[in-house]
Amino acid sequence: MAQHENIAWIRFGAMQSTAIRLSELNFGVIINTSSGGCDSGSEAELLNTLEGAGVTKCKSWCGQADQMERAFAEAAAQQLEVLIVLGGD
């Protein structure tokens, strides 16, 4: 193997070992539908986007502002590695 091929293999091996595998992570999504920027369709849209990116484990909470405290408490009880929060004007 030529030296430049060795370097390319080392780079590939390093990239492969540090790659984030979204399918292995536990995701959570909290959506505040009281905000002007999100509605009931936002949940399906975001979940479809995450699925397209390879996310396979995702728990979601979607509700009005008065339900957000409960949603955050439930999310905190999960073993999430990524939490996405949508809401705001």
In a domain, 45, yes or no: yes
In a domain, 34, yes or no: yes
35 falls in which pLDDT band (50, 70, 90)? Answer: confident
In a domain, 82, yes or no: yes
| Residues contacting 1, CB < 8 A, separation 6+ | 9
Characterize 34-59 residue by residue with b for buried, 16 or more Cβ atoms within 10 angstroms of its Cβ, and e for exposed.
Answer: eeeebeeebbeebbeebeeeebeebe
In a domain, 28, yes or no: yes
Domain hosting residue 68, numbered range: 21-86
The pLDDT tens digits of the residues spanning 58-83 come to 999 999 999 999 999 999 999 999 99
In a domain, 5, yes or no: no
Mean pLDDT over residues 39-61, rounded?
A: 91
pTM over 0.85: no
Burial degree of 29 (CB within 10 A; 0-12, 13-18, 19+) = buried
Amino acid making up residue 51: E
In a domain, 70, yes or no: yes
18 falls in which pLDDT band (50, 70, 90)? Answer: low
